[in-house]
Structure 1
Amino acid sequence: MTNGQGGQPIFILSEDTERRKGRDAQESNIQAARVIGDSVRTTLGPRGMDKMLVDSLGDVVITNDGATILDEMDIEHPAAKIVSEVAETQEEEVGDGTTTAVVLASELLEKAQELLDQGIHPTLIASGFSTAAAKAQEYLVDMAQEITIEDEELLRQVATTAMTGKKVEADVEMLSDLAVKAVKQVVEETEDGYSVDRDDIGIEKQEGEGVGDSFMVEGLIIDKDRVHPNMPKKIEDAKIALINTAMEIKETETDSEIRVSDPDELQKFIDQEEREFKEMVEKVKDTGANAVICQKGIDDMAQHFLAKEGIFAIRRAKKSDMEKLARATGGSIVTSIDDLTSEDLGKAGLVEERKIAGEEMTFIEKCENPKAVSILVRGGTEHIVEEAERSLEDAISVVAKSIESGKIVAGGGAPEIELAMKLSNYADTIGGKEALAVRAFADAVESLPRALAGNAGLDPIDTIVDLRSKHEEDGAAFGIDAYDGKVKNMTEEGVIEPLPIKTQAVSSGSEAAVMTLRIDDVIAAREEETPSPEEMGGGGPGGTPGGM
């Protein structure tokens, strides 16, 4: 609402609209961001705690994965959503470090609040944060060490670091091996280095046994069983036809009706249909195929003839599985059985239906140089299996990022302390009010090892003092060993992370903080409430409906 000429009020917004302006809007947004940061801060590091999330249907998720926690939370505040999107970006880009990115964004806004209270303009603070973030990227690149695809031991350490502190810690070495093997199998060399498509590594999960019983197959695991009980359960030296059309008789495009007056004519129709299915299966058999994976349906009659010919078949396979199968077996997906040739067939040493924890699954393995692989994750309970799957996905992502970027940094809060010290020194060189914002950025970065120490049950102040003294002595790789509380060389301890985790966290965390900081007016329309039947003019139960 604004005043018009002669003091006459002019209404420009609905009276139901909620509006916050200036400091009130900024404080509300910063407070919301801090709540999001506080909700995941205690999960940071190997000694971080777990969160139990219960949805409206009563389904329970227990995890300490930042992206999963924020994804499961029902967040309504718009500024809180901006900060939670940081976790989403971090997860999509690098697959780990989500908690780090969210806590950094939250801390930056908390430091910004202190500067606002001192009367510093939000634009100056935003400018200082952007300057500090750009400088932080340079410092992080300078800190990084080289890693190659041949450094298997280092890659295993990267995977182990990503999974430490999760529920799977007892089997972390075995899972690290699986992650490194899987990534090395699907990696592709490009002009610029290496590229890994994480979709080429399929993860299937099944309750039963322990996490240590998880395994990888050089091929694919499909959560489907053969379509006919008379088909062989096991095919060795398999030649696989990948078909994405239905093995059914095509219906006419227009509605039609056929009247049959003689039983012999009906029999002719049935015989004709049978011949068509027989020819369809003969075409598949003539190519040399002894296994069929169909993306669509397979008619009962076609199933019968396939079984008679000793051909293993699966129907209604997922499109993503079909694409992975093509990459794993070297076959081609065909859209018409008439076009199927022996060159289109994929090859696998073994196709077998196995019962895992009471569920039939099909294993397509022993493929020659497959460019898609599958890992079957096991675990004693549903929650353990799901957390093991999340941990393995993190491990696969960080191994892939390490190979693609070729750069790693120490973990355990080492790069954050080094970064905080360098940014503080940089702030001294620029002067003015912007220097206060750069120093605030340094303090926000330092709060990450502080949280790491607090979660490990250590005294944060003493730990930070120890870390600073080591880093001043040129010990840039020194960080916190959360298990014995000592400050150690993280590279020697095998606690290492891919460089993109840190650079992406700084980038997305600072951008979210700057975006939130620049908002000085929040105009929110109230949600429309669904009217009750009475309000809509409906009668009560058993009554006559009213007028609308």
Structure 2
Amino acid sequence: MAQGQPVIVLPEGTNRILGRDAQRNNILAGKVLAETVRTTLGPKGMDKMLVDGLGDIVVTNDGVTILKEMDIEHPAAKMLVEVAKTQEDEVGDGTTTAVIIAGELLKKSESLLDMDIHPTIVAMGYRQAAEKAQEILDDISIDDVGGDTLIKVAMTAMTGKGTEKAREPLAKLVVDAVTQVAEDEKVDTDHIKIEKKDGAIVEDSELIQGVIIDKERVHPGMPKSLKNAKIALLNSPLEVKETEVDAEIRITDPAQMTAFIQQEETMVKDMVNKIVDSGANVLFAQKGIDDLAQHYLAKAGVLAVRRVKKSDIEKLAKATGATVISNLDDLSLDDLGDAGSVEEKKVSGEDMIFVENAKEAKSVTLLVRGSTKHVVDEIERAIDDAIGVVAATVEDGKVVAGGGAPEIEIAKKLNDFADSISGREQLAVKAFAESLEVVPKTLAENAGLDSIDSLVDLRAAHEKSAYMGLDVFSGGVTDMKEAGVIEPKRVKKQAIQSASEAAEMILRIDDVIASTSTPAPDMGGMDPSMGGMPPMM
């Protein structure tokens, strides 16, 4: 090889950022993302309006919805979006908290890196602090979980999410729904269906003991409502099957044509007879229903609905005790489900099928109402969060105080813990403790209070009680346990865990290699104070 000839390892045009530049770049991306959602935290948080390429509008203050709707391209920022998504999947609430804690951990790590502390040491300190934080969280959690507690948890989750005036009735609906589908202290939230319709006030929302299907009868001759319904669920089409392979039928005589059509009709009639003979008077089909079959079903007085979503068929099976049938030959009385009534009702100008007073009632539907589409969408997101936190509380049986109380208590105990550690990790543990204080600090800022005064008052109050939090409505420090502002322990546990793991992972990156098709993650020209997102678009 000739002397001094360059060795080309990466393809031409590859963008590469090394060492401290890569770390600063990633930390800045995390800080900007946290700054973007920060103003939405708490009861007095503001909303964001997001407009996509098609002009569709989303108005929300739900952290994960904002991050999902934003078109983010920076790789480190994408990692923080994953934190929010995990938080949403695991608990359903606390997405904004998780992201701002992760952003603050990255921000504090910057000053540690400037002091020439190695990123691995910072990451190790953060890991130690996160483990200790979980222990402290166990110590300050409250075991008392009754029906009243569940309503308080639901109301806390919905505060500041556009449901203010109907918070209490909605919280009661959510608690009723969760307790009904709970089995052996396990809650499958898939069995709670949320159906939304605009054109009414929030207070008109109701809980249906069964399932609502956003469809209408397939034939106007069918009955509109039936009592003591026997329900058949079919996941195959109710029509004459076509041959599996390409086939050609040659007809040489008009009489053969007539016989062929009659044969098809007979086959369809046989199918309908099998349904009627089983004793079913309601049919929900996942696939299509032939026009002729619709006619025969209407004549037999069967209420039929076609092209029902698979998820709805599963919910109907859970609610009514019916078995989903693939082959009509197998249909018998034992496979049918029971419901007190099946009725087609008009809701906001559209027909919907209400399957009520179901036998099992292990699947329920929340019919959410609101004045406009955007209002009802935001209420649905609030109810979704409330269902998640109530389910987590039912399963774990442990709650913590809200209003920034656990963060202040954990920060206080972590500072004591840091003094017992030798070495540079001590500084990282102290930085972790300070980072957690971003939650009460942000709550105060969003409520228009002085964040420094609020933090000082909270720290002083925590010398006496671990449940003292910030009351953003009065501006003072209050016992959150007494005030009924409580959250599931799982929300805080998951937020601290995922935020610290994401921060550790980002800190350990010292080389960003982007392929030619990916634009370099350039953060220049970004104004974090404006929530500046240009380089992330």
TM-score tier by shorter-chain length is over 0.9
- Matched with 2:516 is 526
Task: Compute the displacement of 1:312 (Å).
Answer: 0.3
The answer on 1:135 being equivalent to 2:126 is no
Counterpart residue type for residue 101 of structure 1 = A
- Matched with 1:22 is 19
Deviations 1:365-408, CA, capped at 9 Å, x for gaps: 11123111111111111110100000000000000000111100
Q: Distance in 2 between matches of 1:245 and 1:456?
A: 56
Counterpart residue type for residue 144 of structure 1 = S
Contact between 1:245 and 1:295, CA under 8 Å: does it hold in 2? yes
Q: Distance in 1 between matches of 2:266 and 2:8?
A: 77
What are the within-5 Å matches in structure 2 for residues 381-392 of structure 1?
381-392=372-383
Q: Could you tell me the TM-score, scaled by structure 1's length?
A: 0.93
Counterpart residue type for residue 284 of structure 1 = I
- Matched with 1:13 is 10
Contact between 1:147 and 1:403, CA under 8 Å: does it hold in 2? no
Counterpart residue type for residue 152 of structure 2 = Q
What are the within-5 Å matches in structure 2 for residues 60-459 of structure 1?
60-148=57-145, 151-189=146-184, 194-459=185-450
Q: Distance in 1 between matches of 2:247 and 2:325?
A: 30
Q: Distance in 2 between matches of 1:91 and 1:378?
A: 23
Task: Compute the displacement of 1:527 (Å).
Answer: 1.6
Deviations 1:141-188, CA, capped at 9 Å, x for gaps: 11111144xx11110000000000111111111110111010011001
Determine helix, strand or coil for the equivalent of 2:346: strand
Counterpart residue type for residue 75 of structure 1 = I
Q: Distance in 1 between matches of 2:52 and 2:245?
A: 47
**RMSD across aligned positions (CA):** 1.1
Task: Compute the displacement of 1:466 (Å).
Answer: 0.7
- Matched with 1:466 is 457
Task: Compute the displacement of 1:94 (Å).
Answer: 0.4
Determine helix, strand or coil for the equivalent of 2:177: helix
Task: Compute the displacement of 1:15 (Å).
Answer: 2.6
- Matched with 1:545 is none
Which residues of structure 2 form unaligned runs of 5+? 520-537
Counterpart residue type for residue 162 of structure 2 = K
Q: 256-265 or 311-320: which moved more?
A: 256-265
Quickly say closer, same or farther: Cα 1:433–1:5, change in 2 above 3 A.
farther
Q: Across the two proteins, how many residue pairs are aligned to each other?
A: 519
Counterpart residue type for residue 198 of structure 2 = E
Contact between 1:36 and 1:106, CA under 8 Å: does it hold in 2? yes
Identity in percent: 57
Contact between 2:16 and 2:511, CA under 8 Å: does it hold in 1? yes
Which residues of structure 1 form unaligned runs of 5+? 530-548
Counterpart residue type for residue 169 of structure 2 = M
Determine helix, strand or coil for the equivalent of 1:7: coil
Q: Distance in 1 between matches of 2:84 and 2:249?
A: 61
- Matched with 1:506 is 496
Contact between 1:111 and 1:440, CA under 8 Å: does it hold in 2? yes
Counterpart residue type for residue 138 of structure 2 = V
Task: Compute the displacement of 1:528 (Å).
Answer: 7.3
- Matched with 1:538 is none
Q: Could you tell me the TM-score, scaled by structure 2's length?
A: 0.95
Contact between 2:318 and 2:360, CA under 8 Å: does it hold in 1? no
Contact between 1:348 and 1:368, CA under 8 Å: does it hold in 2? yes
Deviations 1:451-510, CA, capped at 9 Å, x for gaps: 11111111111111111111012x110101111101000011110000000000010000
Q: Distance in 2 between matches of 1:369 and 1:144?
A: 35
Contact between 1:231 and 1:307, CA under 8 Å: does it hold in 2? yes
Equivalent of 2:51 in 51, 54, 58: 54
- Matched with 1:535 is none
